Structure 1
Amino acid sequence: MAAIPGLNSLIPLSSKPCRTRTPLFPSLPSTTSLCFFTAKPTSSLSSKISTFSWKLGGAVSAVVSQESVTGSSSSGTDVFKLTYLEGNSWLWEVGGLKILVDPILVGNLDFGIPWLYDAAKKFLKNFQLSDLPEIDCLLITQSLDDHCHLKTLKPLSKKYPNLRVLATPNAKELLDPLFSNITYLEPGQSSVIEGSNGSKVKVQATAGPVLGPPWQRPENGYLVTSPLDQLTLYYEPHCVYNKNFLEKERADIVITPVIKQLLPNFTLVSGQDDAVQLAKLLNAKFIVPMKNGDLDSKGLLASVIQAEGTIESFKELLSKELPDAQVLEPTPGVPVEIQAP
C-alpha cells in the first residue's frame, strides 16, 4: 500500500510492477523506471485514475506511460490526462492532442503593475517553454493577464507560429498580433481540433464571468469532448457560470476553483457551495479542484486578498449533494489520468 497525494484519503490503491516511462517534458532523460499505482474507485464508477511522478533535483516532473501516450487505450477507450501547471495554467492530453490552457510559463504574473500585485509559482519554479511537449492547441478563457499572459504568449507564438488557438473574442486585440490561426468562440459556439492521427476533439465555449460593465461580453468557460464522445470536461477558472446556459449540459469532469478569493465587498474567485452546485448541475463524476490563488504573491493587492474555505470543507459540502462524485486533487506537474468506463 502506498500513498498518492490527494487520492489516498478517497480510494484504496493497488500497486503494479515497475515499468519504463517516457517523460512528458523533453528536457528530462528519455526514459526512467518507476513504480506507479492505479486507483480503484469505491463507488460504482469503473473509471480508472492514475498519477505518475518522478523527482529530479527536488523538482516534480510529469511522466506518461508509453502504452497510453495517445490519450486512448488500445481498447478504444477515451482518456483525459490533466497536468496542473499552477495558477490558471493546464496541459491537457486527449485523443493524442495536447492542449495548453491559459499558460503562465515566462516570468511572474503582475498585470504590468508589480507594485500592486506580483506572483510567482510555488512548485514549478524552473518550468520553461522549452519543457513543453509539442502543442496542438492553445486555449484562452479570459483576456486578462492571469489567463492571456503576454510574457508567455509572445515567445510561445515564435516557437509555434502556426499554432491553433481557440479563445474568447475579448482577447482579440492581444492575440491577433501574435497568432494567425485563431478561432474566437462566443458562448454557445464550438470548434473541432483535429490531430495528425485523425482524432477530433470538440470544444464548445460557455459563458463565464463579466469583467466590466454588465453589457460587456462575458469571458469563456469550455466544454471539451473526447474523440469517441465518452468523456466531457468542463473548465472555467473563476467558478462563475450561467446556470441557464449549463442546465442542458453534462460533464464527467469538472475543473474548478473550490476555495474563494475575496477582496473587501468583492469576490475575485468563487468556490465552496458555488462549486458544489456547478458539479451538481453538470452531474459530474470527478471534480478536479484548482488552487489558482496558491502562489507566492506580494504587493498591495496581495495583502488584502482573503481565502475562504478549504478543499476539506468543499468535500464535506459535496458529499451531501453529490455523494458519488470523487474529488481528485492534482499535484502540480503530475498528470491526473481519467479513463472512461
Structure 2
Amino acid sequence: MHLTYLDSNSWLIELASKKILLDPWLVGPLVFGNQPWFFKAEHTTPRPIPDDIDLILLSQGLPDHAHPPTLKALDHDIPVVASPNAAKLVKEMGYRQVTALDHGETFSENGVKVQAFPGSPIGPLLVENAFVVTDLTSQASLYYEPHGFHSEAVQAVKHVDVIITPLINLSLPLLGPFIKGGESALDVVKWLQPEFILSTAAGGDIKYEGILDKILKMDGDVEDFRKLLADSDCETQILDPEPGQRFEVPLTVSAAA
C-alpha cells in the first residue's frame, strides 16, 4: 500500500495495483457557497492531478470532499464510487460510471472492495459515508472517515491495517466540534486495531482566509493523541507523511499478506 497526502481531505491511495483518488481537491481554491469572505482555502504548493487514476472515491457531497472545479477537470470516464449525495453531483457533471453506495453496501471490482458505513452527519437529515477499502488479493485494508464520526457498525469489519481520520478537534462557538479527533479517534482504534493511523482534514500546505477560519477553535495535536494511545496501551503507530510525497506504508508481512 502506498499513500500520498494531497492536503485537507485529499489522498491518493495505491492498493491492489490501482490508483484511487479520495475526496480530491486539486484545482483552484476551496470555497463554500461561492462566499470567499466566509471561507477560502488555497494550496501553497500546487497539487497536480495524478496520472492514470483507476477510481475516484467520494465520501461526501460537500466541496471539501467533492470539489467541483477538480471534478470538472478530471476525466469523466474514470469510475466513481460515492455517497448518494456525492454521486448525484458527479452524475450531473456528466461522469459516465458512477456507483452510489448507501450505508451497508459494497462495491467490488478489479481486485478492490469498497464498503460503505455511516459517517459524518451533515445537517439533521443527512449522514454521509465512511469507507473501508480492501485489496482482495493481499487483504490489506484501510478505513477512512474524514470528520471523526465513527459508527459502531464499522466494528463488523473487526480489523483494518490503516485508519485515516482526524486526530484533533475543530469546533465552532456554540455548535461544538464538527471535526472530532482525540477520544473519537481512540475509540475507532480500539475497535479496529490498526497497525497505523494517519491524520486528515486539518493538515497540509494550505493558506486559509475568511471569517470561519478566524472563529474555529483547534483542540489537541498529534502528540496529544500519541499520549492517548500510550495511556490506553494501544500499539497503533501514527504516521505523519510529508504532503505531496508518495510513501509506502510499512505494513508487517502478516498484515500485508
TM over 0.5: yes
Structure 1 residue 285: deviation in Å?
1.4
Match of 1:126 among 43, 46, 54: 46
CA contact (8 A) 2:147 2:201 kept: no
Amino acid at match of 2:15: V
Q: Secondary structure at the match of 1:219?
A: strand
Bigger radius of gyration among the two: 1
CA contact (8 A) 2:168 2:181 kept: yes
Task: Tell me which protein shows more helix as a share of its residues.
Answer: 2
> Hey, what's the Cα distance between the residues in 1 that align with 2:252 and 2:113?
17
Structure 1 residue 297: deviation in Å?
0.7
Q: 1:235 corresponds to which residue?
A: 144
**RMSD of aligned Cα (Å):** 1.4
Q: 2:244 corresponds to which residue?
A: 333
Structure 1 residue 293: deviation in Å?
5.0
Unaligned runs of 5+ in 2: none
> Hey, what's the Cα distance between the residues in 2 that align with 1:105 and 1:321?
37
CA contact (8 A) 1:87 1:121 kept: no
Q: 2:211 corresponds to which residue?
A: 300
Amino acid at match of 1:83: T
> Hey, what's the Cα distance between the residues in 1 that align with 2:154 and 2:24?
25
CA contact (8 A) 2:39 2:212 kept: yes
Amino acid at match of 1:246: V
Asked if 1:313 corresponds to 2:224, the answer is yes
Match of 2:91 among 157, 170, 176: 176
Q: Secondary structure at the match of 1:247?
A: helix
> Hey, what's the Cα distance between the residues in 1 that align with 2:222 and 2:117?
25
Q: 1:116 corresponds to which residue?
A: 38
Q: 1:275 corresponds to which residue?
A: 185
Asked if 1:106 corresponds to 2:21, the answer is no
CA contact (8 A) 1:100 1:139 kept: yes
CA deviation digits over 1:234-256, x for unaligned, max 9?
Answer: 0011111112x022222111111
> 1:182/1:153 Cα in 2 relative to 1: closer, same or farther (>3 Å)?
same
Unaligned runs of 5+ in 1: 1-79, 195-199
Structure 1 residue 340: deviation in Å?
4.6
> Hey, what's the Cα distance between the residues in 1 that align with 2:171 and 2:82?
26
Asked if 1:154 corresponds to 2:72, the answer is yes
> Hey, what's the Cα distance between the residues in 1 that align with 2:129 and 2:231?
29
> 1:84/1:322 Cα in 2 relative to 1: closer, same or farther (>3 Å)?
farther
Match of 1:203 among 90, 104, 114: 114
Q: Secondary structure at the match of 2:170?
A: strand
CA deviation digits over 1:203-232, x for unaligned, max 9?
Answer: 10111011011xx24100100111324311
> 1:184/1:322 Cα in 2 relative to 1: closer, same or farther (>3 Å)?
farther
Match of 1:186 among 102, 108, 116: 102
> Hey, what's the Cα distance between the residues in 1 that align with 2:40 and 2:126?
27
Structure 1 residue 177: deviation in Å?
2.0
Q: Secondary structure at the match of 1:258?
A: coil
* TM-score using structure 2 length: 0.92
Amino acid at match of 1:189: E
Q: Secondary structure at the match of 2:108?
A: strand
Percent identity of equivalent pairs:
36
CA deviation digits over 1:115-155, x for unaligned, max 9?
Answer: 10001124xx22233xx121000000001111010011111
CA contact (8 A) 1:261 1:293 kept: no
CA deviation digits over 1:238-294, x for unaligned, max 9?
Answer: 111112x02222211111110111111221210011111111111111111225355
CA contact (8 A) 1:257 1:290 kept: yes
Amino acid at match of 1:220: N
Asked if 1:223 corresponds to 2:135, the answer is no
Amino acid at match of 1:256: T
> Hey, what's the Cα distance between the residues in 2 that align with 1:141 and 1:292?
16
CA contact (8 A) 2:170 2:218 kept: yes
Amino acid at match of 2:37: W
* TM-score using structure 1 length: 0.70
